[in-house]
Amino acid sequence: MLPLWEMFLYLLLSLGFHFYSFYEVYKVSREYEEELEREFELEKDTLFWGLKKDPTDFEWSFWMEWGKERIIWLLLGHLMVSQMSRLFMEKYKPWCLMAYGMVACWFLLGINGLAVILLHIAISFSVAQFQRAVLTWLCSLLLLSTLRIPAVEEAKRGWYDTENEYYLLLFTLTVRCLYYTSFSLEYCWHGSTQKRYHSFFWMLAYLFYYPVFHNGPILTFNEFTKQMKRQESCSLKINLCILLLGIVRIFFWWWLAELMIHLMYIHAIYSSSSHLEVVSYWSLGGLALAQVLFFYVKYLVLFGIPALIIQMDGLKPPALPRCVSTMHSFTGMWRSFDVGLHHFLIRYIYIPMGGSHGSVFGMLFSTAITFSFVSYWHGGHNYLWFWAALNWLGVIAENGVKRLLSVSLVQDLIDHFFSPRICRRLHAALAAVSTSMLILSNLVFLGGNQVGKIYWNRIFLEAQIQHEHLQFRLP
């Protein structure tokens, strides 16, 4: 353990860097406010002292609009049905929630949306009857690929009056793909021995569980059925306390996210390469921190609301994302941010493909397949393949260093020449390299290849050129 004063010093430095870089982003936002307003139409409201709001984060604007208009009320309806079922029809609770989910789906997505979701479910269930995991995966990938066929996209757009309604169907089908894949794979592995919980009705109960219907988080089928069989029952007083505390926390996270996009026009600046290329290095670093921290706070809200409803249903939701400022490795990021997706990838792709218990080549291959699927599931765009490749290289490098340090000879040398405190400091130095690459990969994911290229050029190439120029001028 490091001395207390040293830990306190690092904490102060970290907080100082965060807040000063955010202040620089605030100044840049005010400096370019008029230009950004003309280009991106900043929104005016009275929420934070009349400050204008950056509306260019599509995901936040999309889910806040749907949430305020309909989804939050449908979630409250689910909560009422769940509590009434628990009190009067505990035995039939899964079927009551299934029926409610189907009605809510019809209400939001229309009869065509409900029909296409049922079609995907029926196809996946039919293929699962062969009890071949390879066929299940081929079916799921084929169904996922139909979401990107231009003719099919245009046909679905014709069902709705607005583009947002089509996108809601698209996002719902994308998330449902993981759910029917989970059910079908569990059916392939255990369907013959656990027929009661691998019926088509249990598949519908799982697929139409409404809190996770549109955007997750991901609950695997084995976890869902296991928890449905032994739901945790709490007293009314405890449930009310959990609900009120959860509402207060979610409201605080929402308020913090809104404050960030009122004070700092992060996404608008990222959408303008000309501004991103001329801001100071402090502003550039602050924009990177603000971008990834906003993404974190955003998902505290987007996952926090369904997680609270799941908890009120007597189930245990996946853990909420961990603060990205405390993460220092690619492996830790994947384990701790979207926990439900991580469990899905490990259970259904990484371990069946060999995982870390096989040869080095097997580990490389299974990791590559896992990241390839993640990239394709997110949309399969060019920048997503680049982001997946960066993550794959990062995880492989970290595992390689870990394996090297676990060799007994290397471990003996480290123990002989370095004290535990020195080892901890060296570990922090190595983690800093991993953290910088992790932030770069996340910027590619959130902003695209152009943003990643600007950061690479300015921080690694431009800074190196300036350093060499300064050395040349020194006597």
Give 44's strand partners.
52
Q: How far apart are CA 362 and CA 360, in angstroms?
A: 5
Nearest to 222 by CA among 177, 265, 182: 182
Contact predicate 355/387, CB 8 Å: no
Q: 10 Å Cβ neighbour count for 106?
A: 15
Q: How far apart are CA 286 and CA 280, in angstroms?
A: 10
Q: 10 Å Cβ neighbour count for 305?
A: 22
| Helix, strand, or coil (residue 213) | coil
Contact predicate 239/312, CB 8 Å: yes
Q: Is 237 exposed, middle or buried (0-12, 13-18, 19+ CB in 10 A)?
A: exposed
Q: Which two tokens stand for residue 357?
A: 């218990």
For residue 401, how many C-alpha atoms fall within 13 Å in the half-sphere facing its CB?
14
Contact predicate 247/204, CB 8 Å: no
Q: Which two tokens stand for residue 381?
A: 């765009």
Torsion angle (degrees, nearest 10) of CA 252, 255, 259, 265: 120
Q: 10 Å Cβ neighbour count for 15?
A: 11
Contact predicate 40/266, CB 8 Å: no
Active site residues: 378
Burial 270-291 (b: 16+ CB within 10 A, else e): bbbeebbeebeebbbbbbbbbb
Phi-psi region of 355 (alpha: psi -120 to 50; beta: other; left: phi over 0): left
| Helix, strand, or coil (residue 50) | coil
In sequence order, what are the residues at sequence separation of 6 or more whose Cβ sits closer than 8 angstroms to the Cβ of residue 35? 275
